[in-house]
Each structure stands twice: as structure tokens, then as C-alpha cells.
Amino acid sequence: MSRKINVSVDRRGQVKTDFVGFPGEDCFDEADNLLRALRHFGVQVVSADTVRKSASQTEAERAGLADIERRRNPVKSSGD
Amino acid sequence: MSHITTLKTKIKLETALLAGHEVEEDPGWELLDQAVKTAAAELGGELTTGIRDYYGRRLRCDWGMVTPDSPRGVGVKISRDSGQVTFVYDAYGCDERAIQRICDTIVQSYTSLAVAAALRSLNYAVEFEEESHPVDGRKILVRGVL
């Protein structure tokens, strides 16, 4: 299943990151990696405010991603 | 589990300095060059190498931009010692909103380019999109897919 990071940058340079499709606590590890990479490219974090998604939100996103992948890569039956 | 994080950020080019190199070799230097050029194109500005103060005196900067709304210009200077990024302008008698718009456009453009570079360094495929909001103004969306 694909993993997505959607980042919105407002006119003051404030950044909102949305991690989609990460199992377990993987999104927090990837968030650390992203912050390190941002620092390398000159963007330093002054403050951060994190909200965990609910289980139902996460499940809905995963179902949505799975559906998109099924449409992109339809499974062919052996009779084709 | 997934999550949403809101980050307040500042721009500081210190990667090269921390490795003992000149700030001009920083990975952010080229991004800043690109961000100023992008902002100038968006605002109908002209790139310069300095600005002028109220009395017409010229001050050199690493990047400068003049626009029809801000004819004295707004400059960007990078500290050779710390990598600190500073906007330079003489706001006396000027349209301060026009100056702020230039600064904001450069910051937004730089931050978006840096986010894209950061995502690519983590092997994500990156797409850009823009969204305008009546109150919050323009937002740049950077999508990374792995």
C-alpha cells in the first residue's frame, strides 16, 4: 500500500503535514526523517503541534488508498 | 496510526557552515535563488543585487527585488557566520503591505521548494498544487507519494 505525505505551506511559511497510510507508529519515525531532511535544506522548526488521527479516520484512509491501488493495478484472472 | 502536525518554521542556512564550508555551498542557497526568482516572476518584480533606502543610498544584498509597488526594493541577506536569513528594506513612506507581500512570497516559495527537496531525498515522488483561500490567501500543497 502506498504511503503519502501531504504538506501544505501557507503564505507565512507555516507548514501542515498530513501522514496517510502509515501502519502503527511508522508515521512518527517518518516525521522525524522529514524534519531532519527539512533542516538539511534550511527549514528549521520553531514549534510543532501534533494531532493523532482516530482509528476510524486511519481505517477510512487505508480503505481509500487500497481502493485507488486496486483501480490502478487491477488483478487479471488466469482465464484472460 | 497516522497524524497531522502543524509546524512554525524559520529559514536558516547552516548545513554547509556546520560542515566547515562556505554558506554559498549550502543546499538551501540554490533553493533560495530559485525562490527569489519564482517570487519575482509571480509579483512582476525585477531582480537586483541591492536595494535603496529613503535617501537613495544603495545597499548590497545577496538577492534583491523591486516591484512596481515597492520601487526601493526588498533584499535578502545571508549571514556568513550563522546562515541567518534577513530581509532588508527601508519601509519609511512605503507601502508596507507590498513589502510584506514580497517577503511572504519568498518565504512560501522557499519553504515549498525545501519541502519538495526533503521529500525527494526520502525517495518520495513529488507533485505541486496551489489552493487559494479568501482569508488565508494562497496555499501551496506539496504531495509526496512513496
Residues of chain A contacting B117 with CB distance shorter than 8 Å: 37, 41
- Residue of chain B minimizing CA distance to A33: B122
Q: Which of A2, A4, A10, A51 to mutate to test the interface with B (most CBs of B within 10 A)?
A: A10
Residues of A15-27 as b/e, b for ≥16 C-beta within 10 angstroms? bbbbbbbbeeeeb
CA distance A24 to chain B (A): 5
| Residue-wise pLDDT tens digits, A48-70 | 899 888 878 777 777 776 666 66
Of B26, B118, B137, the CB nearest to A34: B118
Please answer whether residues A70 and B18 qualify as being in contact, where contact means their C-beta atoms are separated by less than 8 angstroms: no
Contact A51 B3 (CB under 8 A): yes
Point out the residue among B7, B138, B142 whose CB comes nearest to the CB of A14: B7
The residue behind cell 533560495 is B32
pLDDT 10s digits, B86-118: 999 998 988 999 999 999 999 999 999 999 999
Supply the pLDDT for residue A24: 83
Question: What span, in angstroms and rounded, lies between the C-alpha atoms of B132 and B12?
Answer: 27
Give Dmax over CA atoms of chain B in angstroms.
Answer: 58
Residue B26 grid cell: 549550502
pLDDT band (50, 70, 90) for residue A79: very low
CB-nearest to B5 from A2, A48, A58 is: A48
- The domain spans of chain B are 5-108
SS3 B13: coil
Identity of the amino acid at B116:
A
CA–CA min distance A62, chain B (Å)? 10
Confidence of residue A38 (pLDDT cuts 50, 70, 90): very high
B9:A49 CB<8 A: no
Give backbone dihedrals phi and psi of A28, rounded to 5 degrees, phi first.
Answer: -70, -35
ipTM over 0.95: no
Contacts of B119 in chain A (CB under 8 A): 5, 7, 34, 37
Closest listed residue to residue B78, CA positions, set B143, B10, B13, B2: B13
Confidence of residue A75 (pLDDT cuts 50, 70, 90): low
- The shortest CB-CB distance from B3 to any of A12, A19, A37 is to A19
Could you tell me the residue ranges of all domains in chain A?
4-72
Put simply, the answer to whether A5 touches B143 (Cβ < 8 Å) is yes
